[in-house]
Amino acid sequence: MSAMLRIVVAGVSGRMGKALLEAVANAPDCVLHGALVRRGSEWDGREVAPSVVASSDIPAVLAGADVLIDFTRPEATMAHLAVCERLGVAMVIGTTGFDEVSKQRIIQAAQSIGVVLSPNMSVGVNLAYRLLETAARVLNEGYDIEIIETHHRHKVDAPSGTALRMGEVVAKALGRDLRDCAVYGREGITGERDPSTIGFATVRGGDVVGDHTVLFAGIGERIEITHKASSRLTFAAGAVRAARFLHQSGAGFHDMQDVLGLK
């Protein structure tokens, strides 16, 4: 096992990819082993770090790596997963928007490689999940629950993976299934609010990195649990932390709660 953690970063031409490159460069125990870009990218062949050239050749880039950190798109992540599984490379996956089939495929791959899958790698957000679990158990009657999230204009999925995960945490604490109680939009004459539902509101605009608020609205009081990210580096630092965790833990399926010891 190498003394240095050999990390490959996927999607290095994107905003998150660039933050990941910076986080790896700043980690004294890590080295950038390779950089992946999509086929046809203008970044293909560009040097992104000393002696590291971005490439779309997935097997060549991953050969000899310890961990791939992937914050790309579902279709790209699934292509990377197949090669990682074959080569024995662990994966830190921050990609969102997977369908159930893809999620099950990732869980299956974790039988042979280490995987951390989390819609948000931020330490603060993962602490917020724990706070939400406690709040939901205490405020289990007489409080309407709404989740409001705001992201930059370029984000392609809605609600965000983090907002959905917050909804899942709250629903589970209340003994509900989010698939049965989520409301993703309201328009027109909707009638009174069903108290068993969990509502979602999505805002897109500007360069907002990511704001999430879970509102517990009762009669005479409101409790809000909010996380605001001002830099993608917080997610990148969490991803590097997850890579270190996988380097020690071996095969298995994990989330950031495992990485941070919150379970």
Tokens of 105: 């495929």
Catalytic residue of the set 18, 152, 154, 155: 155
Q: What is the pLDDT of residue 107?
A: 98
> What confidence score (pLDDT) does residue 1 get?
43
Share of residues in the chain with pLDDT > 90 (%): 94
Give pLDDT tens digits for 155-169: 999 999 999 999 999
Residue 84 CB neighbour total at 10 angstroms: 26
pLDDT of residue 112: 97
The yes-or-no answer on residue 228 being catalytic is no
Q: Please give the domain boundaries of the chain with CATH numbers for all domains.
A: 5-121+232-259 (3.40.50.720), 123-229 (3.30.360.10)
Q: What is the dihedral of CA 67, 71, 77, 80, to 10 degrees?
A: -30
Q: Please list the ranges in the chain whose pLDDT falls under 50.
A: 1
In this prediction, residue 104 carries a pLDDT of 97
Q: Hey, what amino acid is at 208? A: V
CA–CA gap between residue 112 and residue 168 (Å, rounded): 27
Q: Which residue has the tokens 């996988």?
A: 246
State what percent of residues in the chain have pLDDT above 70: 99
- At residue 3, the pLDDT reads 76
Whether 236 contacts 209, CB under 8 Å = no
Q: pLDDT, tens digit, for every residue of 213-254?
A: 999 999 999 999 999 999 999 999 999 999 999 999 989 999
Residue 217: burial class (beta carbons within 10 Å; 0-12, 13-18, 19+):
middle
Report pLDDT for 87: 98
pLDDT at 46: 96
**Any catalytic annotation for residue 155?**
yes
For the chain, the farthest-separated pair of C-alpha atoms sits apart, in whole angstroms, at 62
Q: How far apart are CA 262 and CA 190, in angstroms?
A: 39
Catalytic residue among 33, 80, 151, 212: 151
